[in-house]
Structure 1
Amino acid sequence: MTLLKLCVLTPNKIVWDSEVEQIILSTNSGQIGILPNHIPIATALDIGLLRLKSNGQWFSIALMGGVARIANNAITILVNDAKIGS
């Protein structure tokens, strides 16, 4: 199974850096789902939740706005602040 390499970064720390099955992002235009082999895009992110599926389990990360770049099954998300949900 093809996976996505997800890296979520703030100015102070690496919040997430591992492979995931899929993600759902809150962009300025609404929510988008990203699966492996997605077309390359760059998008601005709204304040909201990043939902990600890893090892069959869903996780949430609160994002405080930023940008995302998706290309070649790699997702890099740069945000002002982020917190993993409990």
Structure 2
Amino acid sequence: MTLTLRVLAPDQSVFDDTADEIILPSTTGLLGVLPGHISMVTAIDFGVLRVLKNGNWDSIALTGGFAEVESNEVTVLVNKAEMGKNIDSAKAEAELEQAKNQLNQTKDQKTSPEKIKAQETLNKAKAWFLASKSD
């Protein structure tokens, strides 16, 4: 028995295929989904979705959104997603370093729109970097 996984962003369908196992980056931590999983809806955080198919793991970088599990079908709706194998690893690493520097420039600010945006940029950069290294 397998799962059907669909990963959808506003501008594209990133993944639409079967999978043996899925690991979702939910806002409460990593969530594993196997065939027969109970129905549920969960919030998705910035992170890497992992897909096991035929003994091989693939990675998909995600930004925030939602996932629904229903009758062995998993639908992930996110703001942005990209297959790890399509991400330029060197570019992702450079963007991660730039995001770290940007956040460091706001370290003296307790809470500000700039600091919140810098943290969000760092979270996205981390997801893309990790996804690029996973494949």
Bin of the TM-score, shorter chain as denominator length: over 0.9
Which residue does 2:123 correspond to in 1? Answer: none
Which residue does 1:69 correspond to in 2? Answer: 68
* Residue correspondence of structure 1 range 1-86 to structure 2 within 5 A: 2-86=1-85
RMSD: 0.5
TM-score, normalising length from structure 2?
0.62
Structure with the higher helix share, 1 or 2: 2
Q: Supply the distance in 2 between the matched residues of 1:70 and 1:49 (Cα, whole angstroms).
A: 17
Q: Structure 1: which amino acid aligns with 2:42? A: T
Q: Structure 2: which amino acid aligns with 1:29? A: T
Q: Is there any run of 5+ residues in structure 1 with no aligned partner, and where?
A: none
Structure with the higher strand share, 1 or 2: 1
Q: Is there any run of 5+ residues in structure 2 with no aligned partner, and where?
A: 86-135
TM-aligned CA deviation for residue 55 of structure 1: 1.7
Superposed structure 1 runs of 4+ greater than 2 Å apart:
none
TM-score, normalising length from structure 1?
0.97
TM-aligned CA deviation for residue 56 of structure 1: 1.4
Q: Supply the distance in 1 between the matched residues of 2:54 and 2:18 (Cα, whole angstroms).
A: 9
Greater radius of gyration (CA): 2
Q: Supply the distance in 2 between the matched residues of 1:18 and 1:31 (Cα, whole angstroms).
A: 21
Q: Supply the distance in 1 between the matched residues of 2:69 and 2:3 (Cα, whole angstroms).
A: 9
Give the total of aligned pairs.
Answer: 85
Larger relative contact order (Cα-Cα within 8 Å, sequence gap ≥ 6): 1
